[in-house]
Amino acid sequence: MGQAISRIVLGVTGGIAAYKSVALVRRLRDAGFEVRVVMTEGAKAFVTPLSFQAVSGFPVSDDLLDPAAEAAMGHIQLARWADLVVIAPASANTLARLYAGMADDLLGTLVLATASPILLVPAMNQQMWASKAVQRTVAGVQELGYQLMPPAVGSQACGDTGAGRMPEPEAIVQFIQHWQHQGHTAMEAAYSTLLSGLHVAITAGPTREAIDPVRYLSNHSTGKMGYALAAACARAGARVTLISGPVSLQAPQGVERLSIHSARELLAESLRITEQGCDVFIGTAAVADYRAAEIAPQKIKKSNDTLTISLVKNPDVIATVAQHPKRPFMVGFAAETERVEDYARGKLASKALDMIACNDVSRTDIGFGSDDNAMLVFFSDRFGYEKVTLAKASKQVIARQLVLALAHALGRGDAAEALHPELMVRSGEK
């Protein structure tokens, strides 16, 4: 498993065990999961959709050709929404249809359309479960990569006793939680080596350009994105140097922080680190474009209704580093309020960068000061990659995804794809 699970699509198929699935939805929600239910026609013969709607809080999906849902390609949206697809009970008929790759109902189509893991919880008569045909199908779906929770042993509705009972809802929830923990542990072990052996320099926070001893020009940057990225790179095994403007954040564990105030100080430290040798340079700092031409030696007194301050352009830190003879892999950031994609592509080319991440800071729910972000990532033409869209998430999650995208560009894509397959950077139209 490549990511944490919070959203589960529960597929319910035909069988007397379907009544247990109502309780399963409740137990999953009690455990903190958000659940949406997909029912087959056979399932509705045993339990009504209204029962699942009542316990899940969402309408039940049951029709592949539902005009209302399909206006927005409902099965595709569900497939993308899910962190995990659980089919419980999974009937013998359903197992065979999944193995054959059939897509003539909503559940079968969703399974084929999702990149998320799929957990099958079979339930059927003990003789059916033991049959060679079903066991061959079970082996087949596991070869396709589907996870399987074995059925429980005990008395069945038909009066038989043996293996084939659907496990109790509590046991299924525990199985999912244990599976998630195991996958998370393995994922973290793989992630911790993504950038091993690399020295990554990151600029973060605002710069302050003095006007007089008590006043300065600056911006609203809090440094949260840069600090989250420094932490993510360190967890990925990199040696990280964080060149930070004045912020109220503590340096992440294992990260060396160098404090600066002005753009010229930032440039001097950046060039020093580059000269010493770093492999990746990431410029998240919000550098002031201009500074006062002259800094008043004393506090400027309020005397007139207007005050004119002459400004001169600051050096372009990241573009200057990109021209250094020991040029590292260059990653830029663009915070824009309009034409975000156009300006980001322009900066990627004009500053001779390898990769740029941009966001729309006119949005009040992301960007400066917010704990969340959403980004578009572009790469230099020489990579031939499509853009990567990072949907709104916490800055910690966005930072982790940026590290995975960076790993692709650095030629460590196999590991990154294994960790986060839906973030694959595919070749194609730019």
* Catalytic residue positions, numbered: 158
Which residue(s) pair with 262 in the sheet?
none
Token pair, residue 268, equals 């001097």
Token pair, residue 411, equals 């030629």
**Residue of 209, 207, 214, 213 whose CA lies nearest to 310:** 209
Separation in Å, CA 189 to CA 87, 179, 194, 236, 239: 29, 16, 10, 9, 17
The H or E element containing residue 63 is: none
Find out whether 359 and 335 touch, Cβ atoms under 8 Å. yes
Could you give the CA distance from residue 180 to residue 348 in angstroms, rounded to a whole number? 38
**3 state DSSP class of 213:** coil
**Residue of 240, 295, 220, 219 whose CA lies nearest to 406:** 240
Pairing of strands 388-394, 372-379: antiparallel
Find out whether 399 and 348 touch, Cβ atoms under 8 Å. no
Q: Would you state the torsion angle of the CA atoms of residues 313, 318, 319, 323, taken in this order, to the nearest 10 degrees? A: 130
Find out whether 105 and 87 touch, Cβ atoms under 8 Å. no
Which residue(s) pair with 216 in the sheet?
210
Find out whether 401 and 407 touch, Cβ atoms under 8 Å. no
Rg (CA), the chain: 27
- For the chain, the straight-line distance linking the first and the last C-alpha, in angstroms and rounded, comes to 30
